[in-house]
Amino acid sequence: MAKNIKFYFAIFLLFFWILLAIVAPIIAPYDPQYVDLSLKLISPNKTYLLGTDALGRDILSRIIYGARLSISISLSIQIILLLISIPVGLFVGWKQGKEESFFDWLTMVFSTFPSFLLAMVFVGMLGAGISNMIISVVTVEWIYYARILKNSVISQKQNEYVKYAILKGMPTTYILKKHIFPFVYGPILTASLMNIGNIILMISSFSFLGIGVQPNISEWGNMIHDSRTFFRNHPNLMLYPGVMILLAVGSFRFIASQIEEKFRGIK
């Protein structure tokens, strides 16, 4: 019973973040980009529930729009990663041979440095901006999922029913679709959900370092970056976006852990 409650709570969290990203323009009380210096650094009150920043912008609205941006970018990156890694992983895992040798060499090259560091180098080369950030993260992350899928496919190929299907001359696409992919998508789904939190942390870090989204865009990392000067007298400016990052990352890791437990229970 407790496990079911945790699982349904995880599903609730997943829909919560997606819904928050969708309805941000509706529930945000103010325009997050509206600047009014006469309202700068106002403490939380009935009008501005979380106060305002150094440019008089409503913090609550910026937090909500920051969720919209972080979730939408992270989901977009994850979808692109899967669109690239799934066919590559299936192909390499099925073919093996020279294809697997080249893939393993490529994996070794990418694994030499932390993915965050590599992505930061690419962002630095391409320049700040959402599209460049997406390209950079996808470039260094896709191989991780392809490796998981490749290893899973190789493992599944050892099963008797797969060997029997091969001996009967069944088409490769049919075998992959019916006898292999249904048993390997669990680890990919779990890793993907876990990585959404990692991507949120990554893009927030890029923005904090000044190489992420444009400075005027409402994004949690940007908010922390902009509030550094006022940390001593107005620590709440950094606290709110920092807490949101922790909640988002923690939520997706919890979701991933519950999905993993569910798959383990099915097996």
Where are the chain's structural domains?
Answer: 2-40+50-266
What average pLDDT does this structure show over 75-104? 88
Sequence-separated (6 or more) residues with CB below 8 Å from residue 24? 64, 65, 67, 68
Q: What is the pLDDT of residue 179?
A: 80
Angle at 105 between CA 137 and CA 85, to 5 degrees: 40
Is 89 in contact with 153 (CB distance < 8 Å)?
yes
Q: What is the pLDDT of residue 158?
A: 82
| 242: pLDDT strictly greater than 90 | yes
| 1: pLDDT strictly greater than 60 | no
| Whether CATH 3.50.50.60 fits 2-40+50-266 | no
- What is the distance between the alpha carbons of residues 217 and 52, in angstroms, rounded to a whole number? 16
- What is the distance between the alpha carbons of residues 127 and 249, in angstroms, rounded to a whole number? 25
227-235 contacts at long range (C-beta below 8 A, 24 or more positions apart):
227/53, 227/54, 229/54, 230/41, 230/54, 234/41, 234/51
As beta bridge partners, residue 53 has: none
- What is the distance between the alpha carbons of residues 146 and 142, in angstroms, rounded to a whole number? 6
| 7: nearest Cα among 264, 181, 267 | 264
Burial per residue of 13-34, b for 16 or more beta-carbon CB atoms within 10 angstroms, e otherwise: bbeebeeebeebeeebebebee
What average pLDDT does this structure show over 122-146? 90
The percent of residues in the chain predicted with pLDDT above 90, rounded, is 31
Q: What is the pLDDT of residue 173?
A: 82
- What is the distance between the alpha carbons of residues 249 and 177, in angstroms, rounded to a whole number? 32
pTM for the full model?
Answer: 0.86
